């Protein structure tokens, strides 16, 4: 079994705390429904890359605006984290848009299209063989 590194544990804790803080404490009306999908902490705890997704809002303009709001709230979020988690040094927060959800949805859609296309082709092939049968 893999032993968890301290950076992984801190990243998990930061993810939980940031999710709550962003949802309940950041009072900017421009901020949409943000979900923290992951946090990666550097080995020296100097920074934490925070990956977020936006529910129902994936236009490039909305993504930029939401990231701007989160970056502006970064100092506030760090101060709140310092109160909630015992760390010698709270890492600098760097926010990134996590495109994996959007890519996953696109991939699922493509797979579904391919499956339905195959079904239609198979149904057409069965009808062709039934229609071309010779009767004596």
Per-residue model confidence (pLDDT) at position 132: 58
Per-residue model confidence (pLDDT) at position 1: 47
Token match 């925070």: residue?
50
Q: What is the mean pLDDT, run by run of 10 residues, along the chain of 136 residues?
A: 76 95 92 92 94 84 94 95 91 92 79 87 76 55
Q: Which fold has domain 6-98?
A: GMP Synthetase; Chain A, domain 3 (3.30.300)
Per-residue model confidence (pLDDT) at position 133: 53
């Amino acid at each position: 079994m893999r032993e968890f590194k301290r950076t992984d544990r801190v990243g998990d804790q930061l993810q939980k705390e940031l999710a709550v803080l962003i949802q309940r404490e950041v009072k900017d009306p421009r901020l949409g429904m943000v979900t923290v999908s992951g946090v990666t902490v550097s080995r020296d705890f100097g920074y934490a890359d925070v990956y977020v997704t936006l529910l129902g809002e994936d236009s490039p303009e909305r993504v930029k605006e939401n990231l701007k709001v989160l970056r502006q709230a970064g100092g506030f979020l760090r101060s709140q984290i310092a109160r909630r988690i015992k760390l010698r040094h709270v890492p600098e927060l760097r926010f990134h848009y996590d495109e994996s959800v959007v890519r996953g949805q696109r991939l699922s859609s493509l797979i579904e299209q391919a499956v339905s296309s195959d079904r239609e082709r198979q149904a057409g092939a069965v009808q062709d063989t039934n229609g071309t049968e010779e009767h004596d």
